[in-house]
Structure formats: structure tokens, C-alpha cells
Amino acid sequence: MTTTTAPAPASAPDVVASALRRLYFVRFGFALLWAVALFSTASSIGPVSATLLVIYPLFDVVAAVVDARSSRASRSAPGLYVNMAISGLAAVGLAVASGVPGVLRVWGAWAVTAGLVQLIVAVRRRELGGQWAMIASGGISVLAGLSFLRQAGAPDPSLSSLAGYALLGGIFFLVSALRLRHNASRSLGDGN
């Protein structure tokens, strides 16, 4: 007679990593679609580009809510609540920003502050694996935000750099999702 044993229940870090993987894949897909849509309308601020500009930080709020629900017991949850507030304020700021320079100023301030928060959250999640991409993304976001603030004062500022920023951020989410999957597979292979 053969006996089968039920698989061991997933540990809390494995559950969080699994939820993050799914969320990061969604964030990659959203960033890719958003970047393409913004790039095609980035020559000026019209109804479509204005809507896209507000949608991006609102999506970030929703993603942080989903992340916080799956990470309630972790040390990263407080940073996620800060991110929700920052992104909500960015959406409001972008809705009332005047012209491309105003948008770049709001986006730049948001990128700097959200990048710092992302960096802190990712450092606290190191034990989950796959976070080096999020650490790099947070640091790059800070630098990009400073660049957007500088671009706001330049002649003929453009929104196209925001599309590149979103696309690069999406790629970092994809890399992190793939690394989280790799780490989970390796963990299962080790019998843990």
C-alpha cells in the first residue's frame, strides 16, 4: 500500500512571494501598455494623455493596496501605506498641473519620494529574494525624478521621457517577478 502525504502548507514568506509575483507581472503588463499609450500621445497634453497621467499613480495606489493586503504581517506594510498616500497626492497634483512643465514637476517629485519608499520597502523584503531589481528601480526612480524636475525648466519639455520611465519600471517589475519565481522553485527543489 502506498501512502501519500499532503504537501506542506506554504510558509508566510512563500505566500507573500507568490502574491508579489502575480502583482509584479500585472504591473509589468500595465506599465508596458501605459508607456505605449502615453508615447503615442506625448506630443501635447490632451484629454487622452491627461487621463493617462492621472491613471498611472492611481494604479500605483491600487497596486500598493493589493501589496499591503498580502504583506500585512511584514515590515514592509508601513512603507506601502506611505506609498499609497504619495501616489494619491500625485494623482491629484497631475489632475491640476498646468502644462508639460507642471506635469514634469509633479511627476518628478512623485518619482523621487515614491522611489525612496520603494527602495526602503525592497531592502526590508530582501529575504524574499528577487528584490535587487526593486532596490535598483527605487534608486533609479529617485534619479529619474530629479531629471524630470530639471527637464521642467528646459525649453520644449516633453512627456515622452515619462513613457520611458514607466517602461523601465515595468521591466524591473518583470525581472523581480521572474527572480521571485526562480527563488520559489529553488526552495521547493531543496525540499523547503
Pick the residue with more confidence: 156 or 36? Answer: 36
Per-residue pLDDT tens digits for 115-162: 999 999 999 888 877 789 999 999 999 999 999 999 999 998 999 999
Q: What is the DSSP letter of 1?
A: -
Half-sphere exposure of 182 (CA within 13 A, CB side): 9
Tell the residue number behind the cell numbers 506542506, with chain if given: 8
Q: Is 154 left (phi over 0), alpha (psi -120 to 50) or beta?
A: beta
All 3 cell numbers of residue 86?
Answer: 504619495
SS in 3 state form for 38-50?
HHHHCCCCCHHHH
Question: What's the predicted TM-score (pTM) here?
Answer: 0.85
Distances (CA, A) of 8 to 22, 177, 181, 184, 192: 21, 23, 18, 14, 9
Cα–Cα nearest to 53, from 1, 126, 106, 122: 106
Structure confidence at residue 7 as a pLDDT band (50, 70, 90): very low
Pick the residue with more confidence: 29 or 77? Answer: 29
Question: Which H or E run contains 58?
Answer: helix 47-70
Per-residue pLDDT tens digits for 48-66: 999 999 999 999 999 999 9
Per-residue pLDDT tens digits for 78-124: 889 999 999 999 999 999 999 999 999 999 999 999 999 999 999 98
Pick the residue with more confidence: 14 or 38? Answer: 38
Q: What is the DSSP letter of 127?
A: G
